[in-house]
Structure 1
């Protein structure tokens, strides 16, 4: 594990907007996964319920039995369109689904049904405010939204260390998600946390998602890189599945410092997927980042 050893002189905060300045600049883009408010899953009639007994809400389609076919949930489409309109997006009159291939035990079919090339909505924006300084002054901010897409959730892996085994719960497999992809318009953890909190309020007001982060109804992936002022953006790392705005801010700020530490010591940043350990406050390498070839 990389241990950060970097002097504070390499990194300061601007009193104006809370961003990293002087020698290095942070660049942050978010992918926010919001569970849609619907009684059934995205492509099956299975019920959606938090904390139900394991594998009690699984249809033949969710379990990937051969010959089963998906049927799109109308309510999920309406919720995505409503959210797109609220976020100043252009709604595509025609959208389609793609297969994102990856192989985990909690994804029985071996691919996720999602959207990439032709999503529900594109080109929107999220207005929010950032509180800075001792007087908690509100600085208006705007994050561009690249697209909003529908996709299905995967199941859940339950690791039993005592018995050295992993159990699979497919209750969540196929639950409808709305992924809101933001452009890299933020520069620090505080900005990202403020944007997520504002989006959470919008979704809850619209009734398109309950947005309960403690129950996994709103999860955030953060794409993070650093670069020197005036130079191109650096190689980014993605920190996955953060379910708290406070942890999101901590993860981003740690990852920016980690990348600066690597570069200051002559190393290179790897395009990879990382996880955030809230107990240690550090990000941990998980795997190489998937590429466009995974979408078919």
Structure 2
């Protein structure tokens, strides 16, 4: 809202009067309808106070009214379910995303300084990084490798020749006054990414959706700003010049949930091809989203254009979103803000906005810069980047299996559910799925069974769920298991496969196996070399099945203890079947060592009940 003169505010607070002249001056950012409502509220308060000098009026102070309105808006947003926040009947949302990912390289993009952000501030800085007069950029060729691998994973056409340009803007985090990027001739163009239902897209998008990628370009990062509690801004130039990959999508996303799914999928892909090893949680990947809305009926549609798509509404950009949830929440908040402004007769301005985690509204940062403001120009100090066919062929042939294909193999060949397959692929930088494959291979050798679907389901439960629970009990999962991206683990795959094999061949019980796993983990952590077989021998844990006499004795005791349930079983029907399961459960509970076979127990309890009929 517009500023109120201090003198007018003083009269209102202390004297009960508020001059309507020059109060709440109309502002272009405030819709006329909203402005007039606020003025009427103030008039009402003033008139009532004058008519009732005793001060017993029930009028609400203007400042409190504004707070109540804000609370009401926040409450209404929180009450809307996630599914309700995806589709609108009268408006269409359009989103394009720019993802900035830090490339996995040893050196910076244009200097030989080490590429790190976690060391002591300002310890890895070259002369060019701080724009020392006379210093020049030297393109580090090795940074090209992860960039091309990422472009190939995103189905892009890698350009045989690309160039660097200067993007001018002035801020304290950019020492040279410009950023070196690729604007006119990017590294790669015309790619796409396919999102499936299991990736978490909005249900309105169906089973799958393909989002186009306009271009992929290399650029340098800025310095890191550190703000102290005293309000001072400190600069860490370790980050300036780090090699970034900017991925620009086409504006083909229409649901907030799908936008978040795309960013998540890109992170998984970049990690899978070793192009970017730091995700959003570590600050190695950030997203800017461009948001616009337009009426579905086309009324009042502006002839705006974004990335070659005409007829879109005026877009705004939300900068530096650092989590998948922030992407979805910020889009919803900005979408709702734009709709509210347009429905009240206002106009959307092209601007850059910010988002704070936990907020319900985006916040204006500055007007949106255009191409003219950045004064793009080819960098005269850098020559073209030429990519040969031999390099492309080598990187394409060594790209490996991408996550979608890996998930399909785990589902179809190893019998895992899509959910479990996705979890395996995403954990430990791909190390968990490598460990899983090693365990299955060992099980094939130990058992002689080549049914990969059966062994895969068996191993998947232990590698994903049992070991996951073990690691969470011990602390941070990655550190506890010491899992590497190659599939090495604190519990060797041969040890876990042996444990699973003894369980699968009925040599130990499931209860015994679950007891042995934490002991095995503790031994391996402490360096105690002891095989699973030796652990079973020492504990006398080999499975000894119950004899027929023992089965019958337990069944009789259960039948004698529950005569009413036995009568209902003899009566037959659906109710009788339920009571039979109850009696079977009572038998299993009396087997404290886990030696009872459920199928054998069912047969024996049925025989004992039938004998009781006679």
Structure 1: gaps (5+ residues)? none
1:191-237 superposed Cα distances (whole Å, 9 cap, x missing partner):
11111111111100100111421221110000000001153211000
Closer, same or farther: CA 91–132 of 1 in aligned 2, 3 Å: closer
The residue correspondences of 1:221-236 to structure 2 (distance < 5 A) are 221-231=288-298, 232-236=311-315
| Counterpart among 313, 320, 329 of residue 250 in structure 1 | 329
Q: CA deviation at 1:129?
A: 2.0
Structure 2: gaps (5+ residues)? 2-29, 31-69, 299-310, 378-614
SS for the counterpart of 2:332 is helix
Residues 1:58 and 2:137 aligned together: no
Question: Partners in 2 of 1:235 and 1:14 — Cα distance?
Answer: 25
Residues 1:160 and 2:212 aligned together: no
SS for the counterpart of 1:179 is strand
**Taking structure 1 as the reference length, what is the TM-score of the superposition?**
0.91
More strand as a share of residues? 1
The residue correspondences of 1:23-62 to structure 2 (distance < 5 A) are 23-62=90-129
Closer, same or farther: CA 226–179 of 1 in aligned 2, 3 Å: same
In the other structure, the counterpart of 2:595 is none
Contact 1:5–1:261, Cα closer than 8 Å, also in 2: no
In the other structure, the counterpart of 1:274 is 353
Question: Partners in 2 of 1:133 and 1:28 — Cα distance?
Answer: 14
Which of 1 and 2 has greater Rg? 2
In the other structure, the counterpart of 2:399 is none
RMSD: 2.6
Q: Which has the higher contact order (CA 8 A, sep 6+)?
A: 1
The residue correspondences of 1:77-92 to structure 2 (distance < 5 A) are 77-92=144-159
Question: Partners in 1 of 2:137 and 2:361 — Cα distance?
Answer: 40
Q: CA deviation at 1:280?
A: 1.9
1:76-125 superposed Cα distances (whole Å, 9 cap, x missing partner):
21222222222121111111011111111111100000011100000000
In the other structure, the counterpart of 2:172 is 105
Question: Partners in 2 of 1:199 and 1:81 — Cα distance?
Answer: 15
SS for the counterpart of 1:21 is coil
Instruction: Kindly tell me the number of residue pairs found equivalent between the two proteins.
Output: 290
Closer, same or farther: CA 137–234 of 1 in aligned 2, 3 Å: closer
Contact 1:14–1:21, Cα closer than 8 Å, also in 2: no
In the other structure, the counterpart of 2:340 is 261
Contact 1:13–1:20, Cα closer than 8 Å, also in 2: no
Question: Partners in 1 of 2:254 and 2:119 — Cα distance?
Answer: 39
**Taking structure 2 as the reference length, what is the TM-score of the superposition?**
0.45
Contact 2:90–2:297, Cα closer than 8 Å, also in 1: no
Residues 1:22 and 2:101 aligned together: no
